[in-house]
């Protein structure tokens, strides 16, 4: 993680997790693949709709990034640890609590993270997505968690001029 000389990480971004029941997800997005798209904000639109209509190179006004993290069971959850923008880099740190199907009502869901990027200048950017995964080993949602592994992805994207 890069921290500026003054100890700051850059501009903090607003990010939220959304879940879509897999049976309600378009067939083309059910494969659970990792996806990252940047789109202009559209009021009242859920993250899944941004994935369906991905633009090639959006202009830099009022942008949203949507990250598809794949499918998870219904009791499992993603938590946003941090999200920030530093010059040409978007950083997203996620944590997955994995119950490994031990709780009732397993329903597969597509996990999405929606990040408010605001206005970006034209140019090349990259995003880093870090995911820590912990397996809950005790009974119920308050069971003991241990971080088993982390994974990361780097995605390059471009913002077009107006």
Strand pairing category for 89-98 and 123-136: parallel
Tens digit of pLDDT at every position of the chain (162 positions): 444 444 557 899 999 999 998 888 888 888 888 999 999 998 888 899 888 876 667 888 899 999 998 888 877 889 999 999 999 999 999 998 887 766 556 678 899 999 999 999 999 999 999 998 888 776 655 656 666 778 899 999 999 976
Q: State whether residue 97 is helix, strand or coil.
A: strand
Give me 112's structure tokens.
């999405």
CA atoms within 13 A on the CB side of 75: 16
In whole angstroms, what is the distance from residue 157 CA to residue 144 CA?
Answer: 38
Bridge-partner residues for 63, per DSSP?
40, 118
- The pTM score is 0.82
């Amino acid at each position: 993680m890069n921290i500026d000389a003054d100890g700051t990480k850059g501009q903090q971004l607003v990010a939220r997790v959304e879940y879509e029941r897999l049976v309600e997800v378009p067939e083309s997005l059910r494969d659970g693949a990792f996806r990252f798209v940047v789109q202009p904000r559209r009021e009242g639109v859920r993250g899944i709709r941004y994935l369906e209509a991905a633009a090639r190179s959006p202009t830099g006004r009022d942008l949203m990034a949507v990250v598809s993290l794949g499918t998870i069971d219904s009791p499992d959850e993603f938590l946003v640890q941090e999200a920030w923008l530093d010059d040409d880099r978007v950083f997203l740190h996620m944590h997955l609590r994995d119950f490994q199907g031990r709780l009732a009502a397993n329903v597969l869901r597509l996990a999405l993270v929606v990040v408010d990027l605001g206005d970006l200048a034209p140019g090349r950017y990259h995003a880093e997505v870090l995911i820590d995964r912990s397996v809950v080993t005790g009974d119920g949602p308050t069971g003991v968690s241990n971080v088993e592994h982390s994974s990361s992805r780097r995605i390059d994207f471009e913002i077009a001029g107006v």
